Amino acid sequence: MVQYPLSEQLTSLRMDQKMYLEAQLYRTLGEMADSSPVEKQSLADAFRLKKKLDEWFSRVTELFDPKILVFPIHFDLHMQYYYWIMRLFQPLVVHTASTAATAPTALDETPQGIVRYSQVMFETLLRIYYLRHSYETYDAWVIHFLLVLGTNALNSLYDATAPTAFQSPGDALSSLLLALQGLKQQSKNVYIAKICALGLQKSMRPDDLQWVQRFLVLKPVTQEDQRMIEESTRCSYPVPIISAEGQLETRKLGEVIRDVEGVSMDL
String of DSSP letters for 88-136: HHGGG---SGGGS-----TT--SHHHHHHHHHHHHHHHHHHHHHHH-S-
Over residues 120-128, the mean pLDDT reads 93
Contact 157, 172 (CB under 8 A): yes
Mean pLDDT rounded to a whole number for the chain:
77
**What percent of the chain shows pLDDT beyond 90?**
22
CA atoms within 13 A on the CB side of 8: 0
pLDDT of residue 51: 92
pLDDT bin (cut points 50, 70, 90) of residue 244 is very low
Distances (CA, A) of 188 to 138, 185, 199, 235: 9, 6, 17, 22
pLDDT of residue 145: 93
- Tell me the whole-structure pTM to 2 decimals: 0.75
Contact 143, 196 (CB under 8 A): yes
Which of 68-72, 211-215, 229-233 shows the highest mean pLDDT?
Answer: 211-215
Judging by beta carbons within 10 Å of its beta carbon (0-12, 13-18, 19+), is residue 227 exposed, middle or buried? exposed
32-87 per-position pLDDT tens digit = 665 566 666 788 888 888 999 999 999 888 877 767 667 788 889 999 999 999 98
